[in-house]
Structures are given as C-alpha cells and as structure tokens.
A and B are shown apart, each in its own frame.
Chain A
C-alpha cells in the first residue's frame, strides 16, 4: 500500500541557511500535518492543511512557512535556520473517511551546523 513519502530523508544545513522539506500524502488523503520531534522529545504539531487551505496552526516559528499544492503534496520551508531547528520532521496525512487516523511518513532529519 502507498504510504506517506517525505523527502529528503536527511538534510544538513548551516546556520542562517534555508531548507525545504516535501511531503507526498497517501492518494485521496486531503489533509496534511507537519510535526517536529526534537531529540528524545514527543512530536510537536506545527501546522496542517485541508484541501490546500491552512486548517490549524501549532507551535510553528515565524521563520517557517508551509503550503499544500493542487496535487495535495505539501512543502515546509524553513529560513534563517538555527541550531535548535535540528530535529526530525514528520509529515502525516489523513482522509475524510479515515476515522481520525493519521498516517505518518518516515520523517526528514534536519541537522543544522
């Protein structure tokens, strides 16, 4: 079965650089969620999109932005990177008939040096 695809899986950036993470949801899933998981921490909700519109916003820094495109894939753009942005970034998707279940991708590990 198709899963949530995230790219890149690993990314290394310098401080103050910009990074873009991509997420391809499961086909026919219309909602995408982004989470940030720091080392040894629980995943923190950043932002979500439903039908290409932002549906909810969590603890996403102003330096970050995201959008969902017409093909339902989503991109998370991170600018002026800081050391503290080093984390695992998960994307998840859900369907309107999915009984509240989120399916997660394998994550993108960002390391800021």
Chain B
C-alpha cells in the first residue's frame, strides 16, 4: 500500500541554520505530495505542494522538489527562524474521489535563538 516515511525527530537547529527534513514515499500510482505544518496547539496548515514529478513547491522560504526517481520530497529551508518551530508532516494523496491524505509520522523541529 501507499505510505510516507519521514526522518525521525526532534531536529534541533540554531537560528539561521540550514534545514533539511527527509521524506520518501511508496505509491502505487502518481500522487500529489504535500508538506503540512502543525504549530503547538493548532491544526494542520498546508505549507507547500507538488502535483507531478520535478515540480518544486515553495512557500515562506521552504522548498521541496518532487523526485520520482528517488521517490522523495525533502523539505529544505536556507535559514530557519525560531518561529519555524513546529511539527512538519509529509503527505501524499491521489485526489479525485479518494482524496484522503496519507501522512508520515511527523518531524518536530525546534529552532533555538
């Protein structure tokens, strides 16, 4: 079946450090890929998405490229801020009638000043 695997956290970085959170997927078809972010005590917010191979999603300085050859969608940011501290979820979906998201286990990012 379809699944998403994320690097385990927590990831602890100093402010302005470079961030990479690895995400790989297993899919029977050609899903869309997403990164959602969950701040403490809040719901899930869409951070970025990519709908097909080689697409790059970007938002708020975060980027991720849909790599079909490596079945990966790694999240990167060049310079993290304390306000980026949150849990990040990688997810996939196929859209259409079965548009449910399949999530990875989440990666906690803690950015220290």
**A residues apposed to B, CB below 8 Å:** 4, 31, 33, 41-45, 48, 50, 55-56, 58, 90, 92, 94, 99-107
Contact = CB atoms under 8 A, between A and B. Distances in A.
A100 B44 contact: no
17 contacts: A33-B100, A42-B104, A42-B106, A44-B103, A45-B100, A48-B99, A48-B100, A56-B97, A56-B98, A99-B95, A100-B32, A100-B93, A101-B46, A102-B101, A103-B46, A104-B45, A105-B43
A90 B43 contact: yes
B35 to A, nearest CB: 12
A44 to B, nearest CB: 8
Interface in B6-54: 32, 34, 36, 42-46, 49, 51
| A-B pairs, 6 with minimum CB distance | A100-B95, A42-B103, A104-B44, A106-B43, A104-B43, A45-B100
Nearest to A88: B43
A58 B45 CA distance: 22
Contacts of B34: 101
Nearest to A106: B43
Interface of B: 32, 34, 36, 42-46, 49, 51, 89, 93-95, 97-106
B32 A58 contact: no
A41 B107 CA distance: 10
Contacts of B43: 4, 90, 104-107
Nearest to A107: B43
Given A43-B44, A43-B89, A106-B43, A99 B51 contact: yes
A107 to B, nearest CB: 5
A33 B94 CA distance: 14
Question: Which of B44, B98, B102, B104 has its CB near the most chain A CB atoms (within 10 A)?
Answer: B44
A105 B45 CA distance: 9
A102 B8 CA distance: 24
B100 A56 contact: yes
A42 B105 contact: yes
A31 B45 contact: no
Nearest to A103: B46
